[in-house]
Amino acid sequence: MITIIDYKAGNLTSVCLAFDALGVQTIVTDDAKKIISAEKIVFPGVGAAGAAMVNLRKLNLIEPIKHQVAAGIPFLGICFGMQLLFDRSEENGGTECLGILEGEVKRFIPPSNDIKIPHMGWNAVKIVKKHPLLKDIENKSEFYFVHSYYPITKVKDTIYGETDYAGVNFTSVVGKNNVLATQFHPEKSGRIGLKLLDNFTRWDGKC
């Protein structure tokens, strides 16, 4: 059973349907008690960092999330969910985030006006380090991205995948112990994205 955290940031239907297609049960919840007893957690989301952190606080979800990360539960962050795991984001005039991963989140600055923001579409992920969730995924496979902000990782050792856009080579897959997070949407990335989610369903949280 996979527990998907609902903190009122975006649409969780696609994530649920992707796990359905893999034959894996999910529950969507904003209940701290259910998160504390979860076996596996997905932390998705679309939205603005400021409002998201307010919601997480209001729903009393910050401590349960940190508790589960420390307890070694397999934990997958997706897109905006990945960004919130870092120390802080430039968004909304600077927002303190969860501090589970070291680094910060910045907005793309287009180097020329033919570079569009958001970064929307399929882009390659260069796999820089092996990970159980990237098993059987070819290097430089394309995944579906939609975002205007990107993470800058402080600890090089936590970088598993990198992607080029708007003149930067940003971290598109980051991990630390039982946490792995992707800037792209595996649930919208076709067969290859489902492979990553399938790997997650089989993962024990160890690297």
The catalytic site residues sit at 79, 185, 187
Nearest distance, CB of residue 206 and other proteins, angstroms: 27
Closest approach, Cβ 112 to other proteins, in A, equals 11
Pick 47 or 77: Cβ nearer other proteins = 47
Binding site for other proteins (CB under 8 A): 10-11, 13-14, 17-18, 20-21, 46-47, 110, 113-114, 116-124, 138, 141-142, 144-146, 164-165, 187-194
Distances (CA, A) of 176 to 145, 179, 191: 22, 5, 25
Q: 75: closest CA among 174, 193, 190?
A: 174
What is the nearest approach in angstroms of other proteins to the Cβ of residue 189? 7
Q: CB-based contacts of 13: which residues, under 8 Å, 6+ apart?
A: none
Contacts of 145 (CB under 8 A, 6+ apart): 119, 120, 121, 122, 123, 163, 165, 172, 183, 184, 185
DSSP 192: H
Indicate the burial class of 18 (C-beta count within 10 angstroms; 0-12, 13-18, 19 or more): buried
The two tokens of residue 207 are 């690297």
Shortest reach from residue 53's CB to other proteins, in Å:
17
